[in-house]
């Protein structure tokens, strides 16, 4: 079963995206995605 996680913008700390990951993954997810608050592409990291 996949687990839902929330991605947070590194610049403005807005919680923009929800993605599903495998529960076996040990490292945190880091993606470059568009932030509608910053209006630019920024790095988004998985929350705790």
Q: Estimate to the nearest angstrom the gap between the alpha carbon of 47 and the chain centroid.
A: 7
Residue 39 pLDDT exceeds 90 = yes
Q: What is the pTM of this model?
A: 0.85
**Which residues are within 8 A (CB) of 14 and not within 5 positions of it... i.e. 6 or more apart?**
8, 35, 36, 37, 38
- At 18 the pLDDT is 96
Residue 48 pLDDT exceeds 90 = no
Mean pLDDT of the 25-44 span:
94
Domain map of the chain by residue range? 3-46
- CATH number of the domain at 3-46, out of 2.70.170.10, 3.90.1170.50, 3.40.50.300, 2.20.28.120? 2.20.28.120
């Amino acid at each position: 079963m996949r687990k839902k996680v929330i991605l947070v913008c590194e610049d403005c700390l807005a919680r923009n995206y929800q993605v599903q990951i495998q529960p076996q993954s040990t490292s945190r997810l880091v993606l470059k995605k568009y932030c509608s608050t910053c209006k630019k592409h920024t790095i988004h990291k998985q929350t705790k």
